[in-house]
């Protein structure tokens, strides 16, 4: 379904995110007919360039990151015609009148401004959009993570944006919320009768959330070394997954109803004991350098892996631990959530049949789908022996080609901005609450001078992370 005509200005329009995700994503939406021929995308950055130069830049980005797509609407040229460019100095006056003139040509369309720039520029951009009269009360701004690096800086950023924009105009991206299977979590939980009655500490032994990556920190060493896995992944992506898996059913699927429930989850999180956290740093593997060499900081104590056990103090979840882990350079790229149910209270088949439990696994990526481990009789004449088998549903098999052509997270989220739907974006208070929970944990290990434990690249992380579970008589699911 096509969205309304829009003008999207991308500040940082020549940056890495624009090149890799935003522009190829818009091209895909254009190809699918969702972005109409009357919409415009305007790159805005410091680089001296004209519209033709920008079109060439975007053509190359699409060739590199979205080669070979067949476009129903026309050739790539039809999309490139929708592009324009202005050279703008975020902190000065240069270029702003040109941008204002360009925007003046687009009255009556949805206006969205994507701040794909350092957070230190958010305030200046917000202010100038108003000074130059190009952001009315219907305009939207889109901001990226990292949204602050602690509660104080996140509050300050929220304050700066709030001077010029209402919360209903601010779209804070956590791209995990745009992933198809992440949204499916809500569909599975609240669209079925089967799971919700069992979704509590009476039936659920524990929940595991794993986001494992095989890549290292790549060319982002400078940023990453100041963040680590806690700030880069745990405070946002894993926290959002935890919220969706643990929240109460919202009364309706609307932005504030959903975000109110997520916020309650964050606020119900207990403080985490130091013994319930394991941090790691990857070692070298063949010609691939170790973490410290990678970030060019031989003394670095930043973690590229973190595992932790957390508890929620509320009626639904008291007593059920959540084990979360994420890291780089691990054995496989896999993200999944496993809901591990309790054992049956009593076995009518006697001790030799063993005790069994059901595990519902939601695979977020790759091979999106879910499986439910159920216990059945082992075939054959050998008596009543039990065995666990998966009821497996891979979405691509079940849904056919439709499941393969799902929009990438950025595509979906940008279209939601144009539609004015904030459900999949983080509200200011959510981000602040997530930092409020994260801050004392980081302060604790900084104060104690904790060092991360080295782990082998291509492994499942540090030994202590395994011990974190073994201690409780439980086991991580294999990363594969």
The residues that touch ligand BG6, with contacts defined as CB under 6 A, are 213, 232
| Active-site residue, selected from the candidate residues 164, 206, 237, 311 | 237
371 labeled binding residue: no
CB of 271 to ligand BG6, least distance (A): 25
Residue 292 assigned ligand-binding role: no
Closest to 28 in 3D by CA, of 51, 57, 53, 58: 58
Between 200 and 297, whose beta carbon lies closer to ligand BG6?
Answer: 297
Find all residues with CB under 8 Å of 266, minimum gap 6, and list them.
239, 243, 430, 433, 434, 437
Q: Please, which residue, 39 or 457, has the CB nearer to ligand BG6? A: 457
> Nearest approach, Cβ of 455 to ligand BG6 (angstroms)?
17
* Least distance in angstroms from the C-beta of 308 to ligand BG6: 18
12 is in an annotated binding site: yes
Question: Do residues 168 and 427 make contact, with C-beta atoms less than 8 angstroms apart?
Answer: no
The least CB distance from residue 179 to ligand BG6, in Å, is 7
Distance between CA atoms of residues 269 and 266, nearest Å: 5
Q: How far is the CB of 328 from ligand BG6 (least distance, A)?
A: 7
125 is in an annotated binding site: no
Neighbouring C-beta atoms of residue 413, cutoff 10 Å: 24
Output the residue with the shortest Cβ distance to ligand BG6. 232
Nearest alpha-carbon partner for 416 in 142, 117, 11 = 142
Q: In the bound complex, what is the minimum distance in angstroms from residue 213's beta carbon to ligand BG6?
A: 6
By beta-carbon proximity to ligand BG6, the closer residue of 205 and 232 is 232
CA atoms within 13 A on the CB side of 329: 23
The reply to whether 237 belongs to the active site is: yes
Residue 250: which residues within 8 A CB-CB, separation 6 or more? 190, 257, 258, 260, 261
- Tell whether residue 18 is among the known ligand binding residues: yes
Tell me whether residue 211 or residue 372 sits nearer to ligand BG6 (CB atom): 211
Q: Is the dihedral of CA 167, 189, 191, 238 positive or negative?
A: positive
Answer yes or no: is 232 a known binding residue.
yes
Q: Is 205 annotated as a binding residue?
A: no
Instruction: Please give the Cα distance from 315 to 199 (Å, whole number).
Output: 12
Q: Which is nearer to ligand BG6, 109 or 331 (CB)?
A: 331
Beta carbon nearer to ligand BG6, 151 or 232: 232
Residue 386 known to bind ligand: no
Binding residues for NADP(+): 12-19, 46, 145
Binding residues: 12-19, 46, 145, 175, 179, 213, 232, 328
Binding residues for substrate: 175, 179, 213, 232, 328
User: Could you list the active site residues?
Assistant: 237
């Amino acid at each position: 379904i096509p969205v309304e005509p829009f003008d999207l200005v991308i500040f940082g329009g020549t940056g890495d995110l624009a090149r890799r995700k935003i522009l190829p994503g818009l091209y895909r939406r254009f190809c699918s007919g969702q972005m109409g021929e009357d919409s415009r995308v305007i790159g805005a950055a410091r680089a001296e360039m004209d519209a033709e130069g920008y079109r060439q830049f975007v053509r190359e980005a699409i060739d590199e990151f979205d080669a070979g797509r067949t476009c129903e609407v026309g050739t790539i040229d039809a999309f490139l015609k929708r592009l324009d460019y202005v050279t703008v100095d975020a902190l000065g006056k240069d270029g702003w009148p040109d941008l204002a003139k360009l925007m003046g040509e687009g009255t009556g369309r949805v206006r969205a401004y994507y701040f794909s720039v350092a957070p230190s520029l958010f305030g200046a951009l917000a202010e100038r959009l108003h000074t130059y009269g190009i952001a009315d009360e219907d305009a939207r701004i889109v901001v990226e993570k990292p949204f602050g690096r602690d509660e104080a800086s996140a509050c300050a950023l929220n304050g700066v944006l709030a001077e010029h924009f209402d919360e209903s105009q601010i779209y804070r991206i956590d791209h995990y919320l745009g992933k198809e299977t992440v949204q499916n979590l809500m569909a599975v939980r609240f669209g079925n009768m089967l799971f919700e009655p069992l979704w509590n500490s009476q039936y659920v032994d524990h929940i595991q959330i794993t986001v494992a990556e095989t890549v290292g920190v790549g060319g982002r060493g400078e940023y990453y070394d100041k963040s680590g896995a806690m700030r880069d992944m745990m405070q946002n992506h894993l926290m959002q997954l935890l919220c969706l898996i643990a929240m109460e059913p919202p009364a309706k699927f609307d932005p504030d109803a959903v975000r109110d429930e997520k916020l309650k989850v964050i606020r119900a999180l207990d403080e985490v004991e130091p013994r319930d956290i394991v941090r790691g740093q990857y070692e070298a593997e063949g010609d691939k350098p170790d973490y410290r060499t990678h970030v060019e900081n031989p003394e670095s104590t930043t973690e590229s892996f973190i595992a932790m056990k957390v508890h929620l103090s509320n009626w639904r979840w008291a007593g059920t631990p959540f084990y979360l882990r994420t890291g780089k350079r691990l054995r496989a790229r896999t993200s999944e959530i496993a809901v591990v149910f309790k054992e049956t209270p009593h076995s009518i088949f006697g001790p030799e049949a063993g005790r069994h439990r059901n595990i519902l696994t939601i695979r977020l990526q790759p091979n999106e789908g879910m499986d439910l481990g159920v216990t059945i009789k082992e075939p054959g004449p050998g008596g009543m022996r039990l065995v666990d088998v998966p009821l497996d549903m891979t979405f691509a098999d079940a849904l056919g080609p439709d499941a393969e052509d799902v929009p990438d997270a950025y595509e979906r989220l940008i279209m939601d901005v144009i539609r004015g739907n904030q459900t999949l974006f983080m509200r200011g208070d959510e981000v602040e609450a997530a930092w409020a929970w994260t801050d004392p944990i980081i302060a604790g290990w900084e104060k104690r001078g904790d060092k991360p434990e080295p782990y082998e690249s291509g492994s499942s992380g540090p030994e202590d992370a395994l011990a974190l579970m073994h201690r409780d008589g439980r086991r991580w699911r294999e990363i594969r």
